[in-house]
């Protein structure tokens, strides 16, 4: 187990990157705290797999350093970094039995036979494959194979970090939940540093202590699920996380007030001289239908079970509102009000931190 430090790290797949656009991973400084579970969240092509491969040593960064507990491993081969990685598609050794598959990483490192047997048994129990231990891996289902890959990743106790590259893509939905819970339990039990790459916000938010959101090769926010929800640092975080995502409205800011097409909206904090492309962002959870406030037209109401999503229109722009399950949406509800404490202000997509009003 180790603290992983990224120092001035950046990567481009081009030999001579000229502009910032040529970088698949833009300059980044970050410490992955020892023993925490991180999720690396972003749409496909945002650079999250590039970052993971640099950490695991499958890729050499074009600039910067990676340190494991203060030791430079930037050019160290994968095997010396003592990490484990689980891939998107199950990687199992088809001709070996399940038992041999699980024992493989330990045997290659010359562990003792009784230690191997003990580890393999406890891992098999954890992934629920004790009955299949002596079967050949070939012919097992995709989720069984992926469970073996997970097991092989966890069989070594002394790993510096456990990396997961969208490991649940091929798994059935109900198994997904089970495996994720197991992973979480495991993290509590052994306290490995875990980095979990995914494009699924539910997976990221339920698995991780801290979520790292990436967009266009850049880390746009690192925070707890709560922080991502309440204070998205970037408009991308706003609409990528949450369902539906954050509402964004172009606005003019003046002190503790925002103006959208002449309508005044109260803000929780005071802002001075906000320049550029200014927007305000309000999560649907913090918007409420009312009989006074900003005028909206309700287009559609979707009942998703625990609550209702109101698809409305405000000055020609789509606006989503979440209403309580029991809430009555009558013809008189033609206005919307926002919770001032949860209205965020963005300039050129980045959040502006106001002063306490």
Partner 1 sequence: MSDATVTQTSFTAKARKPRMRVNGSAVVMGCYLLFLLLPIYWLLMMSLKTNTEILNTFTLWPDNLTFNNYLTILTDASWYMGYVNSLIYVVMNTVISVVVALPAAYAFSRYHFLGDKHLFFWLLTNRMAPPAVFALPFFQLYSSVGLFDTHIAVALAHCLFNVPLAVWILEGFMRGVPKEIDETAYIDGYSFGRFFIKIFMPLIASGVGVAAFFCFMFSWVELLLSRTLTSVDAKPIAATMTRTVGASGIDWGVLAAAGVLTIVPGALVIYFVRNYIAKGFALGRV
Partner 2 sequence: MEKTVNQKAWFLVLPVLLLVAFSAVIPLMTVVNYSVQDSFGNNQFFWWGIGWFEELLHSDRMWSALWRQLAFSAIILAIEVPLGVFVALNMPKKGFWASFCLVLMSLPLLIPWNVVGTIWQIFGRVDIGLLGYTLAALGIDYNYTQDAVDAWITVIVMDVWHWTSLVALLGYAGLQSIPDAYYQAAKIDQASRWKVFRYIELPKMMGVLMIAILLRFMDSFMIYTEPFVVTGGGPGNATTFLSIDLVKMALGQFDLGPAAAFSLMYFLVILLISWVFYTVMTNLEKREG
**Which residues in the 100-119 window bind partner 2 by CB under 8 A?**
104-105, 108-109
What residues make contact with partner 1 under the rule CB under 8 A?
Answer: 70-73, 75-77, 80
58 binds, among partner 2, partner 1, none (CB under 5 to 8 A by kind): partner 2
78 binds, among partner 2, partner 1, none (CB under 5 to 8 A by kind): partner 2
- Quote the least distance from Cβ 81 to partner 2, whole Å: 9
Q: Where are the alpha helices (DSSP H) in 197-344?
A: 201-207, 225-230, 235-240
- Indicate whether 77 belongs to the interface with partner 2 (CB under 8 A): yes
Q: Cis omega before residue 79 (within 30°)?
A: no
What is the three-state SS of 71-122? EECCCCCHHHHCEEEECCCCCCCCCCEHHHHHHHHHHHCCCCHHHHHHHHHH
- Indicate whether 197 belongs to the interface with partner 2 (CB under 8 A): no
- Indicate whether 83 belongs to the interface with partner 2 (CB under 8 A): yes
- Indicate whether 84 belongs to the interface with partner 2 (CB under 8 A): yes
- Quote the least distance from Cβ 34 to partner 1, whole Å: 18
**Which residues in the 224-253 window bind partner 2 by CB under 8 A?**
none
- For residue 260, the cross-strand partners are 263
**Which residues in the 19-58 window bind partner 2 by CB under 8 A?**
56-58
Q: Roughly how many angstroms between the first and final C-alpha of the chain, as a whole number?
A: 44
Contact 213, 203 (CB under 8 A): no
Given 14, 43, 79, 329, the residue binding partner 2 (CB under 8 A): 79
Calpha distance 78→86 (Å, rounded): 14
Q: Is 252 helix (H, G, I), strand (E, B) or coil?
A: strand
Residues that bind partner 2 in the complex, under the rule CB under 8 A: 56-58, 77-79, 83-85, 87-89, 91, 93-96, 104-105, 108-109, 136, 138-139, 149, 152
């Amino acid at each position: 187990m180790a603290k992983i430090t990224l120092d001035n790290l950046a990567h481009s797949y081009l030999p001579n990157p000229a502009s910032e656009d040529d970088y698949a991973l833009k300059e980044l400084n970050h410490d992955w705290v020892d023993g925490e579970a991180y999720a690396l969240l972003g749409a496909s092509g945002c650079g999250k797999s590039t970052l993971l491969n640099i950490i695991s040593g499958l890729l050499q960064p074009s600039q910067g350093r990676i340190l494991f507990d203060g030791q430079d491993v930037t050019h160290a081969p994968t095997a010396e970094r003592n990490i484990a990685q689980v891939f998107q598609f199950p990687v199992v050794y088809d001709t070996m039995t399940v038992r041999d598959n699980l024992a493989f990483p330990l045997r290659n490192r010359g562990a003792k036979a009784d230690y191997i047997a003990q580890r393999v048994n406890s891992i098999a129990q954890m992934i629920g494959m004790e009955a299949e231990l002596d079967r050949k891996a070939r012919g097992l289902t995709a989720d069984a194979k992926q469970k073996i890959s997970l097991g092989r990743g966890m069989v070594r106790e002394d790993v510096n970090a456990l990396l997961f590259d969208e490991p649940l893509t091929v798994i059935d939905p109900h198994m997904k939940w089970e495996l994720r819970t197991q992973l979480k339990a495991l993290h509590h039990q052994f306290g490995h540093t875990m980095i979990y790459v995914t494009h699924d916000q539910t997976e990221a938010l339920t698995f991780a202590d801290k979520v790292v959101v990436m967009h266009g090769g850049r880390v746009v926010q690192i925070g707890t699920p709560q922080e991502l929800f309440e204070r998205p640092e970037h408009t991308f975080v706003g609409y990528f996380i949450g369902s539906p995502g954050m509402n964004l409205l172009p606005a003019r800011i003046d002190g503790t007030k925002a103006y959208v097409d002449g309508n005044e909206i109260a803000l929780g904090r005071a802002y001075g001289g906000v320049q550029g492309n200014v927007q305000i962002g309000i999560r649907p959870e913090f918007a409420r239908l009312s009989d006074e406030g900003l005028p909206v037209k309700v287009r559609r109401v979707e009942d998703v079970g625990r609550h209702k999503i109101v698809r409305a229109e405000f000055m020609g722009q789509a606006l989503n509102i979440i209403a309580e399950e029991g809430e009555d949406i009558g013809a008189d509800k033609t206005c919307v009000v926002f919770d001032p404490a949860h209205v965020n202000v963005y300039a050129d997509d980045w959040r502006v931190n106001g002063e306490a009003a």
